[in-house]
């Protein structure tokens, strides 16, 4: 077995060995050798690296040719037999790399690196150690990591020189962080680089898009040769006086700033003459450079508050978004000063903001340099620059393992960014970031919410869905949504909570000390904890063990008030401090922190003139439910919350009840034109109690029709069940003869927790009890009874972009029948696009059927409105006889799934099996919505003449319109179908994908 990138510590290593016996053997061995205490109990050390790289850019072929020498000093107490080196450009070399696999899962880009433009790699390597050839191997299936076997072991305290030539093919810059857009280059994660060896051993890691890095500190001496008219932004300090003078002259030339040159980027031919620029840097763990012939230059400086040292600041940007970028230098200077005041002096002598032509996220950090993409507005540009500047502390100087503990860099940085931005723009509202006009915000009742509440709203979506994960996991453990929502939103809020509890001065002192102690070193979570615990007498277990280490939920509640006491209750799992405030109008009269408690607790409240008591009025705690956080001191219903009425989808305020409205129109043949109103209590953030009502006034018969649904969601903590949903639904629409059909449904749906949060596989079971108008009586305009039905089912779904599938095992029972069915839908994705081969397999059998009505049996064709005894779907002409109107041709692709209408004439089946295939057309034709299809079916109709064959087949094409309509043309059919409908015209059917609820229908394909 070899070490994969997932292994970061000795305990992981034991786990990954797999078989139990192996593990036992290892433990016994470790006991004998006295190694059982983990390696991390060793004293701190860190390796030292000194790079010298000479690199030449070929901007015709988009290639680098280079030679690298790394002086590597073993400061560990261990003798090293081998080294791991990262060869990250190889992440782009084929479709089996960890990067390709991640992009495949997250973005569905299957054959990404088959395209030569998108492919990148590093080759021409010839590693030597102290000038002697050595054996080195790529790791199996990880061509972006190699293992170099040392000719002689490297003893503690010794140093060696590793050297190699290398050549890099630069991929087109649309995939991740390394790349070029024409002749604009983003050269990052580009050179052979040793993996970190620390207290926990080796940390080889493949390059990933979601997930960052971990590298050794050292010195860089890099010489870059390229055509003379390129402007270069690089990590470290430029050593060429002549080039520096050129940049100074460019910075003085402010002509570009006075013209509106939005988007005006013109091609400049590369000069034949080359130049060699030398950059040096120390206390750095990475080196990246960016170059473009179009860069404008701005230069400034910041005097650091503690040391008085001067930092030279630069901005290099093209004319693209130049209006926005005019102020970027000011943003950078202010943020460097702001963070230096909060955390300690900026760690380097230079800082560069460089604009990127690539589309790899909003911004990316390197030591003393940040690369920023296209931003929406000035505020966002400031915010992104601020965030990336924060990384000079939490990434560049405090070199934690970002891959294993993304919260140590991303979350703390996000928290400082949020604090700095709130300070700088105290009145910034959330709507200003997402909407254009205040009018719109007022209309949506979103004009008052502060910008900083964005974090909370983003986090509430996974939190209320019971999909939270602890924030101290590795980058690769998160789904892509959770990587953003847990690491950037939730964990950032966690640090605000800690700061509010400790107070700014204690928190800032602790963070200063953490920075001082761990600057240019590799801190781990316990190191952060030790520093914080040494700065307060307060117990911080709730923060480091529970808030960071678990997904326990926080929900305190006010029960009641008696004079100067308040009864509060902990409804959550987290036992953590809570802040209670007295509020008069909009101002806070007092704030009181109470240490965490479980169950109920009486809290003394100071006397004062306040109208409301509220838990956490400033939103510093990640409170899951805020409607139970307040109580007024007067009024009949002191615990009631404001109700917000709003049109359309609004931004929901977790402190208020939202009721939203949308006008709705509808039409069907019986009711005619209908006018109604959809009402619901918010869509974006799940709630325990949810409802949706769409009543309609019908103009044909002046009555009421519509649909309504209420549901109650149960979300137990950390249990096998993620979400149990209890629903009640009612439907009523018109039927022939001035009747109405009615349907009532009670359901329980149990969604299981996926065994891994980042797994695309979801499982659920459901049970429904239904009452529906008797279809036979409806069609024959007789007095109508309500029939009862039971449905039970199991659903297994893989909802990935590539090769998704859905398996439904269903059972249905009515008074006179029982049936069971399996319905399997699979999409075999084609390379690169959303296209694929869609396969549907259906098998069903009637366990019992004593009904005189044929339509309860299994339908060979997809059911049309007329034979749907459960009135599923939206049918404008549900009761129309086939082919009398356009809408009478409507069907749903369920049960047998044949398009040709054969249910009436050939009858229903006691059992049937069917296979349906449809596919996009190959190559570019796949983009248009025309798909050929083939449907095959076998049922229990006995063998006889041709017309009575149990084998049915049809082939044709379908047109897909906006994923809403599908029109099927069955051109070729078997004789039995032909005998019923000889003309193609009589076989054309339509499918309307506009259902309120799709699940739970027997034999339902989608």
Interaction site with Zn ion (CB under 5 A): 410
491-502 and 412-424 are packed helices; what angle lies between their axes, rounded to 10 degrees?
A: 70
| 207 close to 377: Cβ distance less than 8 angstroms | no
Which is closer to Zn ion, CB of 410 or CB of 867?
Answer: 410
In angstroms, give the least distance from the CB of 417 to Zn ion. Answer: 8
In angstroms, give the least distance from the CB of 460 to Zn ion. Answer: 22
Which is closer to Zn ion, CB of 223 or CB of 356?
Answer: 356
As a residue count, the chain comes to 1006
Which is closer to Zn ion, CB of 380 or CB of 536?
Answer: 380
283 vs 367: CA distance, rounded Å: 9
Which is closer to Zn ion, CB of 197 or CB of 339?
Answer: 339
| 191 close to 167: Cβ distance less than 8 angstroms | no
In angstroms, give the least distance from the CB of 410 to Zn ion. Answer: 5
In angstroms, give the least distance from the CB of 363 to Zn ion. Answer: 7
**CA-atom Rg of the chain in angstroms:** 33
Helices (H) and strands (E) in the chain, counts: 21, 49
Would you tell me how many other CB atoms lie within 10 Å of the CB of residue 314?
21
Which is closer to Zn ion, CB of 387 or CB of 989?
Answer: 387
940 vs 954: CA distance, rounded Å: 18
In angstroms, give the least distance from the CB of 217 to Zn ion. Answer: 19
In angstroms, give the least distance from the CB of 690 to Zn ion. Answer: 35
101 vs 85: CA distance, rounded Å: 21
Point out which residues pair with 891 in neighbouring strands.
Answer: 864, 991
421 vs 365: CA distance, rounded Å: 18
In angstroms, give the least distance from the CB of 398 to Zn ion. Answer: 13
614 vs 626: CA distance, rounded Å: 9
Tokens of 754: 């996926």
Which is closer to Zn ion, CB of 209 or CB of 410?
Answer: 410
Which is closer to Zn ion, CB of 176 or CB of 466?
Answer: 176
Backbone angles phi, psi at 402, to 5 degrees: -65, -35
Residue number, nearest CB to Zn ion: 410
360 vs 61: CA distance, rounded Å: 22
In angstroms, give the least distance from the CB of 218 to Zn ion. Answer: 23
Which is closer to Zn ion, CB of 290 or CB of 968?
Answer: 290
In angstroms, give the least distance from the CB of 488 to Zn ion. Answer: 8
Tokens of 240: 């060429």
| 500 close to 423: Cβ distance less than 8 angstroms | no
Which is closer to Zn ion, CB of 84 or CB of 416?
Answer: 416
CA 113-117-122 angle, 5° bins: 70
Q: Are strands 630-632 and 643-647 parallel, antiparallel or unpaired?
A: unpaired
Tokens of 470: 């602890």
492 vs 690: CA distance, rounded Å: 29
Which is closer to Zn ion, CB of 66 or CB of 491?
Answer: 491
In angstroms, give the least distance from the CB of 338 to Zn ion. Answer: 17
Would you tell me how many other CB atoms lie within 10 Å of the CB of residue 607?
9
Which is closer to Zn ion, CB of 72 or CB of 515?
Answer: 515
Which is closer to Zn ion, CB of 216 or CB of 410?
Answer: 410
Which is closer to Zn ion, CB of 410 or CB of 877?
Answer: 410
Would you tell me how many other CB atoms lie within 10 Å of the CB of residue 519?
17
Dihedral-angle region of residue 11 (phi above 0 means left; psi in -120 to 50 means alpha; beta otherwise): alpha
Inter-residue long-range contacts of 720-723, CB under 8 Å, 24+ positions, other chains counted: 720/752, 720/753, 721/750, 721/751, 721/752, 721/753, 722/465, 722/466, 722/467, 722/751, 722/752, 722/753, 722/754, 723/465, 723/466, 723/750, 723/751
In angstroms, give the least distance from the CB of 387 to Zn ion. Answer: 6
In angstroms, give the least distance from the CB of 386 to Zn ion. Answer: 11
Which residues contact residue 906 at a Cβ distance below 8 angstroms, ignoring those fewer than 6 apart? 860, 941, 976, 980
Task: For residue 89, give the nearest of 189, 10, 210 by alpha carbon.
Answer: 189
Alpha-carbon separation of residue 181 from 356, 453, 765 (angstroms): 9, 36, 49
In angstroms, give the least distance from the CB of 6 to Zn ion. Answer: 22
122 vs 612: CA distance, rounded Å: 65
In angstroms, give the least distance from the CB of 413 to Zn ion. Answer: 5
Tokens of 322: 């130049």
Which is closer to Zn ion, CB of 410 or CB of 670?
Answer: 410
Which is closer to Zn ion, CB of 372 or CB of 778?
Answer: 372
Tokens of 524: 């781990």
Which is closer to Zn ion, CB of 409 or CB of 653?
Answer: 409
In angstroms, give the least distance from the CB of 456 to Zn ion. Answer: 19
Which is closer to Zn ion, CB of 372 or CB of 893?
Answer: 372
538 vs 515: CA distance, rounded Å: 21
Alpha-carbon separation of residue 251 from 226, 245, 296, 353 (angstroms): 21, 10, 7, 14
Which residues contact residue 947 at a Cβ distance below 8 angstroms, ignoring those fewer than 6 apart? 975, 976, 979
504-518 and 491-502 are packed helices; what angle lies between their axes, rounded to 10 degrees?
A: 120
| 451 close to 421: Cβ distance less than 8 angstroms | yes
619 vs 454: CA distance, rounded Å: 11
In angstroms, give the least distance from the CB of 353 to Zn ion. Answer: 15
Which is closer to Zn ion, CB of 354 or CB of 613?
Answer: 354
In angstroms, give the least distance from the CB of 393 to Zn ion. Answer: 12
302 vs 538: CA distance, rounded Å: 37
> Does residue 451 sit in helix, strand or coil?
helix
Backbone angles phi, psi at 341, to 5 degrees: -65, -40
Which residues contact residue 755 at a Cβ distance below 8 angstroms, ignoring those fewer than 6 apart? none
């Amino acid at each position: 077995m070899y070490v994969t990138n997932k292994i970061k510590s000795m305990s992981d290593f034991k786990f990954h060995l797999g078989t139990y016996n192996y593990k036992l053997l290892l433990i016994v061995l470790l006991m004998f050798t006295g190694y059982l205490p983990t390696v991390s109990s060793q004293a701190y050390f860190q390796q030292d690296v000194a790079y010298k790289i000479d690199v030449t850019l070929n901007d015709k072929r988009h290639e680098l040719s280079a030679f690298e020498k790394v002086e590597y000093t073993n400061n560990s107490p261990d003798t090293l037999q081998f080294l791991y080196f990262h060869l990250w450009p190889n992440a782009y070399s084929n479709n089996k790399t960890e990067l390709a696999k991640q992009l495949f899962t997250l973005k569905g880009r299957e054959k990404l690196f088959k395209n030569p433009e998108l492919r990148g790699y590093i080759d021409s390597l010839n590693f030597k150690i102290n000038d002697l050839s050595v054996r080195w191997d790529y790791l199996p299936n990880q061509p972006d990591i190699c293992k170099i076997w040392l000719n002689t072991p490297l003893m503690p305290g010794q140093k060696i020189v590793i050297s190699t030539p290398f050549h890099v093919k630069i991929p087109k810059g649309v995939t991740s962080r390394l790349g070029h857009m024409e002749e604009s280059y983003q050269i990052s994660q580009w050179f052979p680089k040793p993996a970190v060896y620390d207290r926990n051993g080796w940390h080889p890691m493949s390059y990933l898009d979601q997930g960052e890095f971990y590298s050794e500190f050292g010195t860089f001496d890099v010489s870059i040769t390229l055509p003379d008219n390129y402007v270069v932004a690089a990590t470290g300090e430029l050593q060429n006086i002549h080039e520096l003078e050129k940049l100074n002259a460019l910075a003085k030339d402010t002509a570009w700033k006075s013209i509106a040159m939005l988007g005006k980027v013109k091609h400049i031919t590369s000069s034949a003459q080359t130049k060699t620029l030398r950059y040096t840097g120390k206390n750095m763990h990475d080196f990246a450079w960016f170059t473009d012939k179009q860069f404008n230059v701005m230069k400034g400086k910041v005097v650091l508050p503690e040391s008085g040292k001067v930092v030279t600041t630069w901005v290099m940007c093209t004319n693209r978004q130049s209006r926005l970028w005019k102020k970027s230098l000011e943003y950078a200077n202010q943020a460097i000063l702001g963070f230096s005041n909060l955390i300690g002096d900026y760690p380097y002598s230079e800082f560069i903001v460089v604009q990127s032509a690539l589309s790899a996220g909003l911004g990316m950090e390197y030591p003393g340099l940040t690369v920023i993409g296209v931003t929406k507005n000035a505020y966002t540009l400031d915010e992104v620059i601020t965030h990336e500047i924060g990384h000079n502390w939490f990434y560049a100087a405090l070199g934690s393992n970002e891959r294993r503990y993304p919260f140590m860099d991303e979350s703390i940085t996000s928290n400082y960014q949020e604090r700095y931005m709130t300070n700088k723009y105290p009145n910034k509202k959330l709507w200003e970031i997402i909407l254009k006009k205040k009018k719109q915000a007022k209309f949506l009742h979103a004009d008052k919410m502060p910008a900083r509440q964005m974090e909370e709203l983003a986090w509430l979506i996974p939190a209320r869905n019971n999909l939270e994960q602890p924030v101290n996991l590795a980058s690769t453990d998160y789904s892509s949504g959770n990587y953003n929502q847990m690491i950037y939103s939730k964990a950032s809020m966690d640090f605000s909570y800690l700061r509010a509890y400790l107070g700014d001065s204690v928190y800032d002192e602790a963070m200063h000390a953490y920075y001082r102690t761990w600057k240019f070193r590799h801190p781990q979570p316990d190191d952060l904890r030790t520093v914080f615990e040494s700065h307060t007498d307060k117990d911080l277990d709730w923060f480091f063990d529970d808030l960071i280490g678990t997904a326990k939920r926080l929900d305190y509640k006010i029960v009641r008030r008696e004079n100067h006491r308040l009864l509060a209750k902990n409804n959550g799992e987290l036992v953590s401090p809570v802040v209670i405030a007295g509020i008069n109008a909009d101002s806070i009269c007092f704030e009181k922190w109470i240490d965490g408690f479980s169950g109920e607790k009486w809290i003394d409240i100071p006397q004062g003139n306040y109208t409301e008591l509220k838990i956490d009025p400033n939103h510093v705690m990640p409170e899951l439910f805020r409607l139970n956080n307040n109580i007024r001191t007067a009024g009949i219903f002191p615990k009631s919350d404001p109700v917000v009425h709003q049109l359309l989808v609004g931004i929901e305020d977790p402190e208020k009840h939202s009721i939203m409205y949308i006008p709705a129109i509808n039409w069907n043949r019986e009711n005619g034109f209908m006018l109604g109103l959809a009402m619901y209590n918010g869509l974006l953030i799940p709630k325990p109690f949810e409802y949706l009502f769409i009543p309609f006034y019908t103009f044909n018969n002046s009555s009421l029709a519509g649909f309504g649904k209420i549901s109650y969601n149960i979300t137990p903590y950390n249990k096998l069940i993620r979400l149990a949903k209890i629903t009640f639904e009612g439907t009523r629409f018109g039927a022939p003869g001035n009747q109405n059909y009615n349907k009532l449904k009670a359901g329980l749906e149990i969604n299981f927790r996926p065994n891994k949060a980042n797994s695309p596989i979801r499982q659920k079971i459901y049970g429904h009890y239904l009452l529906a108008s008797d279809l036979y009586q409806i069609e024959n305009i007789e007095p109508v009874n309500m029939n009862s039905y039971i449905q039970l089912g199991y659903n297994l779904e893989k909802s990935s972009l590539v090769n998704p599938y859905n398996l439904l095992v269903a059972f249905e029972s009515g008074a006179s029948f029982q049936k069971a069915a399996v319905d399997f839908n699979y999409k075999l994705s084609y390379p690169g696009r959303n296209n694929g081969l869609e396969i549907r397999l259906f098998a069903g059998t009637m366990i019992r059927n004593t009904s005189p009505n044929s339509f309860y049996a299994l339908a060979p064709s997809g059911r049309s409105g007329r034979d749907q005894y459960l009135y599923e779907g939206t049918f404008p002409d549900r009761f129309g006889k086939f082919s009398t109107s356009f809408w009478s041709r409507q069907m749903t692709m369920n049960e047998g799934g044949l398009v040709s209408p054969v249910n009436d004439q050939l009858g229903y089946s006691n059992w049937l099996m069917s296979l349906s295939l449809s596919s996009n057309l190959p190559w570019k034709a796949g983009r248009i919505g025309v798909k050929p299809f083939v449907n095959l079916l076998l049922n229990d109709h006995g063998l006889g003449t041709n017309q009575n064959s149990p084998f049915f087949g049809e082939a044709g094409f379908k047109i897909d319109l906006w994923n809403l309509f599908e029109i099927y043309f069955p051109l070729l059919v078997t004789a039995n179908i032909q005998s019923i409908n000889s003309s193609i015209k009589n076989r054309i059917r339509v499918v309307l994908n506009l259902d309120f609820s799709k699940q739970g229908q027997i034999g339902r394909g989608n």
